[in-house]
Amino acid sequence: MDSNKDEALRCINIAKEAISAGNKQRALKFLGIARRLNQNLPVDDLLAACENLDSSSSAGPSDDVKNVIEEIRKAYRKLSLKVHPDKNKAPGAEEAFKKVSKAFKCLSDDDSRRQYDQTGLVDEFEYNQQYQVRRRRRRTGNDFFDDDFDPDEIFRAFFGNRDMFRNAHVYRTRTHNAGAHQREDLGGGGPNLMLLLQLLPFLIIILLAYIPFSEPEYSLQKNYSYPFKKTTEKHGVEFFVKSREFDENYPIGSPSRNDIENM
């Protein structure tokens, strides 16, 4: 009986968590199990709480959730325009833009927002979800660091493909002196270089297809390329050749034939 009571209490705790999450069906399921295991446990209040749950909540986000998401989007739009490095030339603007984009990435996703509510950490969610890391190589003084996402990519996805402050140019930061940074415009030749790099593997494959490769004149195993059987006179080792003219091309006593005979 004690084991049944413990299991019933565990089911009640699961039902409470389901009620807190707004999952009416799961809560009713575990309350029913708890009542079957132990009829003396008070579950009437929890059943009443289940009835008060909005049954339509499972069909989609409530108006309150939609309003919160819309407020997040408005706040991101406002802040990202203020701190975007192409508009804000103040020191630290790029780092601020990264943080704003990181916050938006976390809060605009249901799972990440739930994880943030539980832990208060954005990085913890990204680690647990094992986001695919895209390494971005940047130079700051003499140090290199890797970012787990591209803030500019989030910005472009949010505002569309149009460039708000540049005419389809990409910039990168280079260090010329210790602590001095200069932006280099890559607009003109950048796309051509990227196109060449993308086509390079195909060009290599095509070149390899046309480069002739010399095959050995004999093989120890018979196949469609080596159908004719031969035997060395010295050791009686069987080998296979490409054509019947093998003896003419490699006459017995010639240096090349001796190499084969001594194998």
Residue ranges in the chain whose pLDDT is less than 70: 1-2, 54-65, 116-191, 210-214, 263
**Residue 50 in domain:** yes
Q: Does residue 86 share a domain with residue 145?
A: yes
Q: Does residue 133 share a domain with residue 116?
A: yes
**Residue 20 in domain:** yes
Q: Does residue 151 share a domain with residue 74?
A: yes
pLDDT at 175: 42
Residues 233 and 261: beta-carbon distance below 8 Å: yes
**Residue 15 in domain:** yes
Q: Does residue 147 share a domain with residue 55?
A: no
Residue 116 DSSP code: H
Question: Which pTM value belongs to this model?
Answer: 0.28
CB atoms within 10 A of CB 15: 25
Cα three-residue angle 16-112-22, rounded to 5 degrees: 25
Q: Does residue 131 share a domain with residue 111?
A: yes
**Residue 181 in domain:** no
**Residue 29 in domain:** yes
pLDDT at 160: 57
The last residue of one of the domains, among 26, 41, 59, is 59
Residues 30 and 12: beta-carbon distance below 8 Å: yes
**Residue 160 in domain:** yes
Let me know if 97 is exposed, middle or buried by CB neighbors in 10 A (0-12, 13-18, 19+): buried
pLDDT at 188: 47
Q: Does residue 36 share a domain with residue 110?
A: no
The last residue of one of the domains, among 98, 133, 165, is 165
Q: Does residue 148 share a domain with residue 133?
A: yes
Q: Does residue 149 share a domain with residue 83?
A: yes
- Give the 3-state secondary structure percentages of the chain, helix then strand then coil, rounded to 5: 55, 10, 35
pLDDT at 182: 45
pLDDT at 180: 44
**CA distances from residue 1 to 8, 30, 36 in whole angstroms, order as listed:** 10, 18, 12
**Residue 182 in domain:** no
The last residue of one of the domains, among 39, 59, 79, is 59
pLDDT at 224: 80
Domains contained in the chain, number:
3
**Helix 93-107 with 110-119: angle, nearest 10 deg:** 100
**Residue 191 in domain:** no
215: amino acid identity, one letter: E
CATH number at residue 120: 1.10.287.110
Q: Does residue 154 share a domain with residue 75?
A: yes
Q: Does residue 158 share a domain with residue 86?
A: yes
Q: Does residue 54 share a domain with residue 69?
A: no
Domain containing residue 152: 63-165
